[in-house]
Amino acid sequence: MVELARRRLGERGTVVVADMTDFDLGRRFDGAVSPINTLLHLTPAQLAHHLECMARHLQPDARYLVQVGLIEPDQRKPFAGSHWEASRGDVRLTVAWVDEELDAAHGRSRQRSRIEVLEGERAGEIIEEVHDMTAWTPATWTDALEASPFGEVATYDGRKGGQWPRVEPTATGSLLWHELARR
């Protein structure tokens, strides 16, 4: 994936491989984005380190836009659940991402991703992984931010297509976007 990103970017950008909880890029940026619930892969302690690193890399007025889904404190039904198909050229595949276990009380979720190649040179290949994720509630997410160098400026609901309506910070859902600003 790193090589693919380098080929696609060419001279327009730089690809860096680093630990997202401990990195130094040697410069500051005007903004940053963390999509696709990436931060759920971090434990609360790892998230704290990540936010410290991000704060060092953002200009004082910069924004950090993160997609972090939040669950109800007593939620029992699966949090993650998406299925889609994609194709490019002669390759077609199907992707499923689902919760296998959800323990809201302890802030943990075990999720399974499954990619099946339906057509193309690798047809029939299946790539499957299990991911131990952090399950954030509005309260635990707020607590994590309050202990960090960031404050939440706004929360948006990404399920609404091209228009992302602003919602309360206590909203729950898998496609929430949080606009963070350095304190």
pLDDT tens, residue by residue, 149-167: 999 999 999 987 778 899 9
- Pair of tokens at residue 182: 């350095």
Are residues 144 and 124 part of one domain? Answer: no
Parent domain of 147: 18-70+136-182
Flag whether 146 is in a domain.
yes
Tens digits of per-residue pLDDT, 17-43? 999 999 999 999 999 999 989 999 999
Is 76 a domain residue?
no
CATH number at residue 118: 2.20.25.110
Domain count, the chain: 2
Same domain membership, residue 62 and residue 142 = yes
Look at residues 157, 161, 160 and name the one whose alpha carbon lies nearest to residue 179: 157
**Is 10 within a domain?**
no
Q: Is the pLDDT of residue 127 over 80?
A: yes
Distance CA(28)–CA(36), nearest Å, equals 23
The answer to whether residues 100 and 130 touch, using CB atoms and an 8 Å cutoff, is: yes
* 101, part of any domain: yes
